[in-house]
């Protein structure tokens, strides 16, 4: 990713997510982390179009918060949620809720939405978009759900699971970007960074 590091010598990830951190490291980006302090509103009860708009707005708020604090460079903001039957399933408030969510997702399809915001502070340019991935779960047993939730993996995950961990065995197939389910759609992120960088030259 030398090309992107040259285009954007100062990149900041506006997220404390260890998964997003690892994904950016994986593709060789040089960046620092400065988590935003934006409160995440509830998106429950809205239709999918509203949820898509909501994750984009929240990603932009996160990026904008850090952009105002940093005052320079490229800021990457993002927000991920799981949508089941047009309802947003964020991070569980407790393990009882995590079990309830996994029971709902068992033997069915849900959609993972990630809103991404890029703010190029130096050139006063920005790009915001949403990416969706359909995920299909096999039928889960009560014991599997209990063991998974007891492991603690569900605690800080949208939809109460992480595809990159023990819950990998829950997934029959996906339609869309795998990395989007982890919190950052890498292919579209790199593409949009290139477009933003080239349009600024």
Interval 93-112: pLDDT, tens: 999 999 999 999 999 999 99
| Topology adopted by domain 2-199 | Maf protein (3.90.950)
- DSSP string computed for the chain: -HHHHHH-SSEEE----HHHHHHHHHTT---EE----------TT--HHHHHHHHHHHHHHHHHHHHHHH-SSEEEEEEEEEEETTEEE-S-SSHHHHHHHHHHHTTSEEEEEEEEEEEETTTTEEEEEEEEEEEEE----HHHHHHHHHTTTTTTSGGG--TTTGGGGGEEEEES-HHHHHT--HHHHHHHHHHHHHHT-
Pick the catalytic residue from 79, 120, 147, 155: 79
**Contact 46/67 with Cβ under 8 angstroms?**
no
Q: What are residue 129's DSSP bridge partners? A: 116
**Contact 116/78 with Cβ under 8 angstroms?**
yes
Model confidence pTM above 0.85? yes
Interval 11-45: pLDDT, tens: 999 999 999 999 999 999 999 999 998 877 666 55
* Active-site annotation holds for 156: no
**Is the per-residue pLDDT at 190 higher than 70?**
yes
176, HSE (Cβ side, Cα atoms, 13 Å): 21
Distance (Å) of CA 201 to CA 127, 193, 195: 16, 13, 10
Q: Check residue 90 and give its pLDDT.
A: 86
**Is the per-residue pLDDT at 200 higher than 60?**
no
d(CA 42, CA 98): 16
């Amino acid at each position: 990713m030398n090309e992107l590091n040259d285009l954007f010598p100062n990149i900041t990830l506006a997220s404390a997510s260890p998964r997003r951190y690892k994904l950016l490291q994986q593709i060789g980006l040089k960046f620092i982390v400065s988590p935003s302090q934006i409160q995440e509103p509830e998106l429950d009860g809205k239709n999918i179009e509203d949820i898509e708009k909501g994750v984009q707005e929240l990603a932009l708020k996160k990026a904008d918060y850090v952009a105002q604090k940093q005052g320079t460079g490229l800021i990457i903001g993002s927000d991920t949620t799981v949508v089941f039957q047009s309802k947003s399933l964020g991070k569980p408030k407790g393990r009882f809720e995590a079990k309830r969510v996994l029971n709902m997702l068992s033997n069915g399809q849900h959609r993972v939405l990630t809103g991404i915001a890029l703010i190029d502070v130096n050139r006063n340019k920005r790009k915001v978009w949403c990416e969706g991935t359909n995920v299909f779960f096999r039928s889960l047993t009560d014991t599997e759900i209990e063991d998974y939730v007891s492991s603690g993996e569900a605690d800080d995950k949208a939809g109460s699971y992480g595809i990159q961990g023990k819950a990998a065995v829950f997934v029959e197939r996906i339609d869309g970007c795998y990395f989007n389910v982890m919190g950052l759609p890498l292919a579209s992120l790199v593409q949009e960074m290139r477009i933003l960088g080239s349009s600024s030259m």
